[in-house]
Amino acid sequence: AELCANAALRRNHLDHRVALVACSLPDLTESLGGFLSGTSRANVISDRRREASGAKLAFVFSGQGSQWHGMGRELLREEPVFRESLERCEHLLRRHADWSLIEQLAADEQRTRLGEIDVLQPTLFALQVALAALWRSWGVEPDAVVGHSMGEAAAAYVAGALTLEDATAVICARSRLLKRLSGRGGMAVVGLCVEEAERLLAGKERELSIAASNSPTATVVSGDTAALADLVAG
């Protein structure tokens, strides 16, 4: 860690670059030796420094589905800025919820409530806010932000359009409203453009509809679960 920090912060930035992916000091030493001897390795990338392209930086706040069990624990344990931001979110979430953000992040898979949408979405929101705070503490400032679905609440806060208090209220209200609809239908991603998906749904409009066009080759269809199962099977 000290070697990498010194290389990044305490050395002149010269014209040549080499980046290595390593899991241990012996691994790093071996990779450096291979680079010096001219041996090609997949975990070693080298290039020359290029002039700044003028490209700008965006923070993208994703929607639901980016979660996994154990997320945020290492940062919570090792990064004070991250933890402080989560604790601020915890304090504000307590005004709207009967559960603890920190406890849910630490819970084992048998006790976690992250399968409940009105717990999961505020938790993801808080993690997004804390990650943005951590990046900013390192001097990484976005030129723009964008949020997808529930990520819009975190994006609005980071952009300065909402206070943290208001953004927290929005995500809690949003997740509670969605919980009322939970179990009434489903969604499926089909590998089609939106026009192809619309043709596929012709005659099924009472049961199914286009929910989102995520890309030229990915469209989300929502509606009756049995009809969705038939569509996917077909």
Nearest to 113 by CA among 186, 63, 179, 44: 179
Using alpha carbons only, give the angle 111, 130, 55 rounded to the nearest 5 degrees.
135
In terms of DSSP bridges, do strands 58-61 and 144-147 run parallel, antiparallel, or are they unpaired?
Answer: parallel
For 180-217, the pLDDT digits (tens) are 877 778 888 899 999 999 999 999 999 999 998 888 99
By percentage, how much of the chain surpasses pLDDT 90? 62
pLDDT number for residue 52: 67
For 158-178, the pLDDT digits (tens) are 999 999 999 999 999 999 998
Q: Which ranges in 10-141 belong to alpha helices (H)? A: 25-36, 73-78, 80-93, 101-106, 117-137
- Total-model pTM: 0.71
Beta bridge partners of 220: 189, 212
For 30-66, the pLDDT digits (tens) are 999 999 998 888 899 989 887 766 789 999 999 888 7
